[in-house]
Structure 1
């Protein structure tokens, strides 16, 4: 019986199929587009392989594309038809069960099954990667960290997957607030594999969360040749670069990044990319900058998808696009559809991760975004204040969810809710003491309270924090080659 390069026995897999699976796993770890072709090759060489079948399901689900999930569900159903899986080895049974849970929308259950698998088989890289991504999609920062941390003792520094595992661990450490350890771990992963774009992404997050903008820009600039092309994280890492630009006050550079790398006529229209585009323009809108033509093109892209209820995090960003484009009726229609979906849900729907995400967080966030579009800032505060400490329930990272947190802050300021605005600014200041955005917020609050001296000091601090921070995005020259 064949084994993979890490010593895991592969049931019903030929040596050729095992080679293709090894190639697919390596491409997966480094977010290379060839992962899909490698999985197809593995399925062709070993169609009865549970690993290959589960792999195809994970690819179909983890991108949050409902059409890809539907195609994966159909193929997985054909594989299982008339097949007795009870005699399979335990590891393979767990993979198939986790794949089935993913397709059934039970992302939390799938994560539990993969954690059980990793307990007994900590060197199953596919299980670790898929579980890690599920933890990200469900906003489980602790398990995002500990799933990988708990498996690392089964690996050695000489193992080929050691570097990518460190990159995953770094992201879990960052999301759970261990910024110094996350930075050290992520940099060690990048040192080992400069093109480990997930590790690059993890380090980028650590700088973002601490407001270390100059270091973040320098880090990405120095490594642009490694992350700025030819991988599934190209758009997302450029989005991070654009966030640095906004924090530094370089709005024009942020828009250059947006047009060249985040969203353009050549964009594939994938949800993961469209939500980055929406989140970037939304931050600019909150800062008072309207981009009607960009919003219109982005709203068209979301509308073309006609997404059913599938992933609440995506829904919120579609609403951002509709509101930003002034298409309030389209945003209202999406919210009404999700509200109707929740009301019609039976007991079988209660196990859907997206049901919980939509009911507890997604719908209040979408309604708040709509209220913001109408200028009803008191309603925004009323909707977001109760959920602001639980917003991770509908997935994403701290950096991504900050668009919602900023919406709450901006509406608190606009509504004259000075106590809440002060508290929110104080929280942000504790995490990012040198953030120009936070200091400008404090200046606006001081203005509202009639304290001209404090406002002047805060604006001076904002200018000082932004001084010298003028990202130029030198890696944009690589962008024409990034579209997959």
Structure 2
């Protein structure tokens, strides 16, 4: 009897142990739950000629920013799949190889073509989805809509209560503005598989978009202790809790969460999360009028100094610019912005001119030149989506614009922006700001 994956797709192994360990490993990989590496290694050991566990292991190395190991394992998987893989498996490994070797545009095109033929191949379907997926980092201005369209195109193939698909379909709808549907789907996904950090992450985002901050805080407080500190997104889920506390003005709780679970010395997350979470939390503190405790900016900058020195990854570029601006490293920020402008000019930065513009605006804000910051950001605010990440992560740029407008005396523009935001998402912070503007 042929071995099959969870969706009854054939697997090129005669070892049921390898097939079972692969099925379990994929579920752990797609829920980012501890045990991924060990489980996939057991599949590899059970059948060393079976390419897909090696490819999934390479994918996990890539998620963990372990580039050398990822490239070695995907190369081995490519060798094996040519010898004894099916057409689907060869395509599967090829798409992963493109992504792991930095050919993101080709990987996205390949993933879309692959899933049109094999929509239930969820390792590949997962790749364009999520905040850090191939769509999000494509530089597209409409990547939120693209995720929805991809999920809806293939929804008919999945069982109604498929925990994995419900989560990413719900995430896509929530980020694209259908918060009620997104909330229902992501919360159902979490009910079906509680040991799934991607589900609680998606729930945190849709609750943020719904303005349900107290509910988000309770879910995070209840769920997070059951997720090992070594888990890939432990620090990032805690960051969501810190943002909720900061938004409601509870600085003591926010700083306690940051210091205990998010800051570089304590987080066990991957560099892109550690850097973006620490930089954006501290920048929000500063923008909201709080004093950042001594040493925290320099601590975050020291950690970041080992990463993302080569400009061209917009999401990282923006957060590296925050650190440089906040610590007064004007030379580093100018060099990054200039390099990004060059990449825009030669057409190799798909996110476009919004990226160097945000870098210049952050410098102006840090220098107290609020009118200049607003002048730079206003024309490109609608393009910020192109840097990738989630709506909650990108909102920091709009916060910077809003605070700049208020501090530059542009009360009418600030009120209009606040009105639009409050119409979309109730926010205690925005309500306080609007009240302050009304009081003059």
- Give me the TM-score of the superposition, normalised by structure 2: 0.88
User: Over residues 110-167 of structure 1, what are the superposed CA-to-partner deviations in whole Å (9 max), with x where a residue is unaligned?
Assistant: 2332222222222222122223233344472123334334333223257xxx112212
Q: CA deviation at 1:248?
A: 1.0
Corresponding position of 1:98: 95
Q: Which moved more, 1:363-372 or 1:103-112?
A: 103-112
Whole-Å Cα distance in 1 between the matches of residues 220 and 272 of structure 2?
Answer: 24
Tell me which residue corresponds to 1:121.
118
The aligned residue for residue 394 of structure 1 is: 387
Q: Distance in 2 between matches of 1:306 and 1:217?
A: 31
Match of 1:210 in 2: 210
Residue 437 of structure 2 corresponds to residue 439 of structure 1: no
Q: Which whole-Å CA distance do the structure 1 matches of 2:29 and 2:237 have between them?
A: 17
Q: Alpha-carbon deviation of 1:392? A: 1.5
**C-alpha spacing 1:218/1:84, structure 2 compared with 1 (3 Å):** closer
> Are residues 383 and 8 of structure 1, via their aligned partners in 2, closer, same or farther at CA, if it must alter by over 3 Å?
same
Please state how far the C-alpha of 1:55 moved relative to its aligned partner: 2.4
Match of 1:267 in 2: 267
Inter-CA distance 124–306: structure 2 relative to 1 (3 Å threshold):
closer
1:107 and 2:115 correspond? no
Q: Which residue of 1 aligns with 2:70?
A: 72
State whether structure 2 residue 379 is matched by structure 1 residue 382: no
Higher relative contact order (CA 8 A, sep 6+): 1
Partner of 1:247: 247
Contact 2:33-2:195 at 8 Å conserved across structures: no
CA shift, 1:190, in A, is 1.8
Do the aligned partners of 1:205 and 1:399 also contact (CA within 8 Å) in 2? yes
Change in Cα spacing, 1:229 to 1:306, as seen in structure 2 (3 Å) is closer
Shift of 1:271: 1.8
- CA RMSD, 1 decimal: 2.8
* Offset from partner CA, 1:316-353 (integer Å, 9 cap, x none): 1112122222333333333344445556x5xxx84xxx
Cα distance, 1:88 vs structure 2: 5.5
Give the Cα separation in 1 of the matches to 2:106 and 2:24. Answer: 28
- SS of 2:328's equivalent in the other structure is coil
Match in the other structure for 2:414: 421
Unaligned runs of 5+ in 1: 447-451, 456-484
- For 1:47 and 1:307, how far apart are their aligned partners in 2? 37
* Contact in 1 for aligned 2:136/2:386 (Cα 8 Å): no
User: Which is worse superposed, 386-395 or 146-155?
Assistant: 146-155
Q: What's the CA shift string for 1:173-211, capped at 9, x where partnerless?
A: 111111111111122112222222222222221221122
* Corresponding residue of 2:334: 332
The alignment covers a number of residue pairs equal to 431
Q: 1:297 aligns with which of 296, 299, 317?
A: 299
With over 3 angstroms needed to count, the CA separation of the structure-2 counterparts of 1:328 and 1:197, relative to structure 1, is same
Instruction: Tell me, in whole angstroms, the C-alpha distance in 1 between the residues paired with 2:135 and 2:343.
Output: 25
Q: Is residue 2:4 matched to residue 1:3? A: yes
Alignment partner, residue 25 of structure 1? 26
Q: What is the CA distance between 1:249 and its match in structure 2?
A: 0.7
Is residue 86–residue 93 contact of structure 1 (8 Å, CA) maintained in 2? Answer: no
Q: 2:153 aligns with which of 128, 150, 155?
A: 150
Q: C-alpha separation between the residues in 1 aligned to 2:10 and 2:239?
A: 40
> Does the aligned pair in 2 maintain the 1:166–1:199 contact within 8 Å?
no
Which secondary structure does the structure 2 equivalent of 1:150 belong to? helix
Q: Tell whether the 8 Å contact from 1:6 to 1:123 is kept in structure 2 after alignment.
A: yes
Instruction: Give the drift of 1:294.
Output: 0.7
Q: Which residue of 2 aligns with 1:173?
A: 173
Match for residue 164 of structure 1?
164
Q: 1:171 to 1:72 in 2, by over 3 A?
A: same
Q: Which residue of 2 aligns with 1:360?
A: 353
Change beyond 3 A, Cα 1:73–1:33: same
CA distance in 1, matches of 2:235, 2:321: 20
Change over 3 Å in CA distance of 1:48–1:392 after alignment to 2: farther
Of 53-62 and 388-397, the range deviating more from structure 2: 53-62
Q: Would the alpha carbon gap of residues 247 and 388 (structure 1) be closer, same or farther in structure 2, given more than 3 Å must change?
A: same
Q: Secondary structure of the equivalent of 2:304?
A: helix
Shift of 1:230: 5.3
Partner of 2:56: 55
Cα separation, 2, equivalents of 1:369 and 1:37: 43
1:260-306 Cα offsets, whole Å, 9 max, x none, are: 11014233462212211111111001012232311110010011325
Residues 188, 306 of structure 1: CA spacing in aligned structure 2 closer, same or farther, 3 A cutoff?
closer
Corresponding residue SS for 2:306: helix
Between the aligned partners of 2:227 and 2:267, the Cα distance in structure 1 is 18
